[in-house]
Amino acid sequence: MRTLGIGLLGLGNVGSGLVKLLEDNAEAIAARLGARLEVRRIAVREVDKPRMVEVDRSLVTTDVEAVLADPAVQIVVELVGGEVAAREFVLGAIERGKHVVTANKALLAAHGDEIFNAAERRGVDIFYEASVCGGVPLIRALRDGLASDKIDEFIGIVNGTSNYILTRMADEQRPFDEILADAQAQGYAEADPGLDVDGWDAAHKLCVLCSLCFGARVPVTEMLVDGLREIAPIDFDYARRIGCVLKPLVIGRDHASDIEARVHVAMIPERWLLATVSGVFNGVYVSSQALGPSLYYGRGAGMMPTAVAVVSDVIEVARDILSAASSGLPLRLRIRDWRERPVRPRGELVSRFYLRFRVRDRPGVLAELDGVLAREGIAVREVSREVGETVILTTQAAREQAMQRAFEGFARIDAVLERPRLIRMMD
Amino acid sequence: MRTLGIGLLGLGNVGSGLVKLLEDNAEAIAARLGARLEVRRIAVREVDKPRMVEVDRSLVTTDVEAVLADPAVQIVVELVGGEVAAREFVLGAIERGKHVVTANKALLAAHGDEIFNAAERRGVDIFYEASVCGGVPLIRALRDGLASDKIDEFIGIVNGTSNYILTRMADEQRPFDEILADAQAQGYAEADPGLDVDGWDAAHKLCVLCSLCFGARVPVTEMLVDGLREIAPIDFDYARRIGCVLKPLVIGRDHASDIEARVHVAMIPERWLLATVSGVFNGVYVSSQALGPSLYYGRGAGMMPTAVAVVSDVIEVARDILSAASSGLPLRLRIRDWRERPVRPRGELVSRFYLRFRVRDRPGVLAELDGVLAREGIAVREVSREVGETVILTTQAAREQAMQRAFEGFARIDAVLERPRLIRMMD
């Protein structure tokens, strides 16, 4: 039986999970594939660091170049993360005719075009199932399962840390900072949580999904990206009262003219399936023309879930190698026609809004707030004067730019004690 | 650009959907595949029947053999349904070296072994995404996405008609017969509804899933299969009171020693994700060792959803043909080691039970019912004396065979006016 060689870049959590899965399931994989898979070189930053799995020390090196150049390596698995070094390594692997499996959404979001083009020129595969929703085979579902369909829209919960924090805030009625600190202590959030709670990790994944679903390059810098630092327990109370929950969403829509791409917390009806996606779990709702709605759910992070996705990709690349599929066929990632599609400007995006104000407790404030909104053409839907200084106000659908101008108006109202908080609403 | 030829057997709903999808998305598919797909022969029972799509009359024939033998046909799509003729056609196609795509779960459940073996000997593909959950790419997810994982359990709602009937019974508090008649009038249920409401369609799909997930052949005749004809509005009331909903499930579990396979309605907690799978929708919850829980949701039937799955399979077969993958590699269906695994006998299956009795309204009945259950070692958990003649009783976990013997005991109690109704419970 033939053996295919894997070169592993990075031996952290996911790399260790990969080594473990390949060992534990070696027989099953060989039976399925008709070939063996073997990790032949492993590049790490520190050779002597303690690892979660036992590996043959002679395989381990700090020299990435040695891994990429090794003729016994056919498949390079990039698990170093980040954008700069990873880009160099992945392009280096492609250059040497190696197929690449990566879990790196930041890399794909920043340099996807360059990498996919290089791979196409060189006739090698790039697989990236683990980059979105961890072990949930979402990329496969969209790429192969819906290959004959046209995707119109997807709405996803793709950042487990954000979902975990919002779920616990809802359950325990405690403020963001406390829950974040807890999550950090338990390892559910990074010491530097910005990538997760400010929406950038989700934005990277949204970028990958827009490429895959719409064939559109949507730079992260052109998306509406908003995090969850300003959400407070009172927002959950209000949401509950109107039958909603708060979820950290990515939303992609293919309008005839342009692509809508946004990352933010939203109030969604509790009867939606996505409303039941809780804790660290991920879920993506997809709407396509022939199939209609479908949904994919599971763990979006963690050592073994992510490793499952990486190894499944490795198996598929190995199949392609064994059948020489990659010699002439177009890359699998090019599921849709790839076109330069305009991105809908942030200011043009439309939502209903929930606004929470802290105001001086005196008569006439509501008229002032409504006045500001009315000047921007925004209609108020409901007003709720909470205890003390809090006023909550929801609006009809309005453009982001109109709301932004309204915020300038609010700033000029004496009775408004601080910048209002804003949550977008969906129904 | 090369063109691959499709021979279509059957031009009903799904066949028409396939023709439409191939036409509507011809450019996108060609771009993705690097080849064109063309329907070159269509076998039907009546040439002159009106069709949902326009097809070139010269392609249509009543002679299946002519389709199978046509050298311009590389891929045969079997959409005739049923077991006997379909078996002959599929084996005939394989014999002639054609790759096969089928949506026929009844065929795979009854003759899967024979067909898969024939395909393996002949070195052709058999793809069957549309056989379970229609357009939801469940088969792909299990086969490719979890290729490096080990599946322990799945619980699925895979029969849309049953789910539709139970959902409407729950919403409208109307009896089974009325809702079934409505469903038939609206085309959601067949004139002969037995395949759906007695659980056999689900059993066929369970058989396909057991093969795929556990590598185990579980004949439908060895499964626990129970339908939904005996469910009544009062059962929904009770379920609601204990925070449960009624769902038509298939359940497969890989015990170390044997395989558990069952089809029946169950009371499940309303907080489960599956509890939110309503109407004609399907959903399958999967638990695997590395990934943990995952869930796949969408339309399990209908012309276009099913056609999406069939065309996705055709595209994948076409890829294999273009890359000559099927010449040496093992079939994709053989994802797990294929072993003869014992099936856990029906009598050994364990559940909690809900029992609904119609009894003569006199003191002492409860003692008699409890006495019968106690003799079989079954402990009562809750008793609810409903208005009039109805007694509802739930039990602790017990074996099916003990419950069966208890039913013999109930039959000997004077005060029990008819055979009790039984629903299994999960928590």
Q: Hey, are the CB atoms on B290 and A296 less than 8 Å from each other? A: no
Number of structural domains (chain A) is 3
Name the burial class of residue B412, with classes exposed (0-12), middle (13-18) and buried (19+) by CB atoms within 10 angstroms of its CB: exposed
Span A125-171, pLDDT tens digits? 899 999 999 999 999 999 888 988 999 999 999 999 999 999 999 99
User: Are A181 and A222 in a shared domain?
Assistant: yes
Look at residue A369 and tell me if it is in a domain.
Answer: yes
Q: Hey, are the CB atoms on B294 and A135 less than 8 Å from each other? A: yes
Q: Hey, are the CB atoms on A150 and B323 less than 8 Å from each other? A: no
Nearest to B316 among A33, A129, A144 (CB): A144
Confidence class of residue B339 from pLDDT cuts 50, 70 and 90?
Answer: low
Tell me if B98 sits within 8 A of B192, measured CB to CB: no
Nearest to A335 among B32, B147, B289 (CB): B32
Is A105 a catalytic site residue? no
**Distance separating alpha carbons of residues B168 and B162, to the nearest angstrom:** 10
Q: What is the structure's pLDDT at B215?
A: 86
Q: Which chain A residue's Cα is nearest to B285?
A: A297
| Residue A405 Cα, gap to closest chain B Cα (Å) | 40
| Residue A66 Cα, gap to closest chain B Cα (Å) | 28
pTM to 2 decimals?
Answer: 0.94
| Residue A218 Cα, gap to closest chain B Cα (Å) | 20
Closest-CA residue to B352 (of B407, B421, B423): B423
User: Are A259 and A307 in a shared domain?
Assistant: no
**DSSP symbol at A343:** B
Q: Which chain B residue's Cα is nearest to A300?
A: B291
Q: Which chain B residue's Cα is nearest to A317?
A: B144
Look at residue A270 and tell me if it is in a domain.
Answer: yes
A238: its two tokens: 């209000």
| Residue A158 Cα, gap to closest chain B Cα (Å) | 14
User: Are B285 and B175 in a shared domain?
Assistant: yes
**Distance separating alpha carbons of residues B346 and B340, to the nearest angstrom:** 18
Tell me if B351 sits within 8 A of B400, measured CB to CB: yes
**Distance separating alpha carbons of residues B225 and B262, to the nearest angstrom:** 6
Name the burial class of residue A59, with classes exposed (0-12), middle (13-18) and buried (19+) by CB atoms within 10 angstroms of its CB: middle
Confidence class of residue A324 from pLDDT cuts 50, 70 and 90?
Answer: low
Nearest to B294 among A136, A276, A312 (CB): A136
Closest-CA residue to A97 (of A64, A123, A70, A128): A123
Q: Which chain B residue's Cα is nearest to A135?
A: B291
Residues of B in Cβ contact (< 8 Å) with A271: 276
Confidence class of residue A339 from pLDDT cuts 50, 70 and 90?
Answer: low
User: Are B204 and B237 in a shared domain?
Assistant: yes
Residue B328 CB neighbour total at 10 angstroms: 10
- Mean pLDDT rounded to a whole number for chain B: 93
Q: What is the structure's pLDDT at B377?
A: 97
| Residue A94 Cα, gap to closest chain B Cα (Å) | 21
Task: Give the structural domain span for B362.
Answer: 346-425
**Distance separating alpha carbons of residues A395 and A225, to the nearest angstrom:** 21
Confidence class of residue B338 from pLDDT cuts 50, 70 and 90?
Answer: low
Closest-CA residue to B201 (of B131, B255, B139, B291): B131
Look at residue B332 and tell me if it is in a domain.
Answer: no
Q: Which chain B residue's Cα is nearest to A278?
A: B273
Residue from A98, A105, A150, A205 carrying the catalytic annotation: A205
Last residue of a domain, one of B278, B298, B318: B298
**Distance separating alpha carbons of residues A93 and A416, to the nearest angstrom:** 57
Look at residue A189 and tell me if it is in a domain.
Answer: yes
pLDDT over 60 (residue A335): no
Residue from B98, B105, B205, B247 carrying the catalytic annotation: B205
Q: Hey, are the CB atoms on B31 and A276 less than 8 Å from each other? A: no
Look at residue A57 and tell me if it is in a domain.
Answer: yes
Q: Which residues make Cβ contacts (< 8 Å) with residue B5, sequence separation at least 6?
A: B38, B39, B40, B41, B70, B72, B73, B74, B75
User: Are B289 and B158 in a shared domain?
Assistant: yes
User: Are B86 and B180 in a shared domain?
Assistant: no
User: Are A380 and A271 in a shared domain?
Assistant: no
User: Are A319 and A212 in a shared domain?
Assistant: no
Q: What is the structure's pLDDT at A17?
A: 96
Q: What is the CATH number of the domain that holds A367?
A: 3.30.70.260
Q: What is the CATH number of the domain that holds B113?
A: 3.40.50.720
User: Are A153 and A256 in a shared domain?
Assistant: yes
User: Are A255 and A188 in a shared domain?
Assistant: yes
Look at residue B337 and tell me if it is in a domain.
Answer: no
Q: Hey, are the CB atoms on B290 and A298 less than 8 Å from each other? A: no
Span B379-405, pLDDT tens digits? 999 999 877 799 999 999 999 999 999
Span B306-336, pLDDT tens digits? 999 999 999 989 988 887 655 444 444 444 4
C-alpha separations of B132 from B102, B129, B250 in Å: 11, 7, 12
Q: What is the CATH number of the domain that holds B197?
A: 3.30.360.10
Contacts A–B by Cβ distance under 8 A:
229
B229 residue type, one letter: R
Q: What is the structure's pLDDT at B330?
A: 44
Q: Hey, are the CB atoms on A28 and B150 less than 8 Å from each other? A: yes
pLDDT over 50 (residue A329): no
Q: Hey, are the CB atoms on B309 and A25 less than 8 Å from each other? A: no
Q: What is the structure's pLDDT at A31?
A: 80
Look at residue B341 and tell me if it is in a domain.
Answer: no
Q: Which of B25, B144, B152, B213 to mutate to test binding with chain A, by most A CBs within 10 Å of its CB?
A: B144
Q: Which of B75, B291, B310, B331 to mutate to test binding with chain A, by most A CBs within 10 Å of its CB?
A: B291
Q: What is the structure's pLDDT at A34?
A: 82
User: Are A108 and A85 in a shared domain?
Assistant: yes
A162 residue type, one letter: S
Look at residue B340 and tell me if it is in a domain.
Answer: no
Q: What is the 3-state secondary structure (H, E, C) of B230-243?
A: CCCHHHHHHHHHCC
User: Are A291 and A321 in a shared domain?
Assistant: no
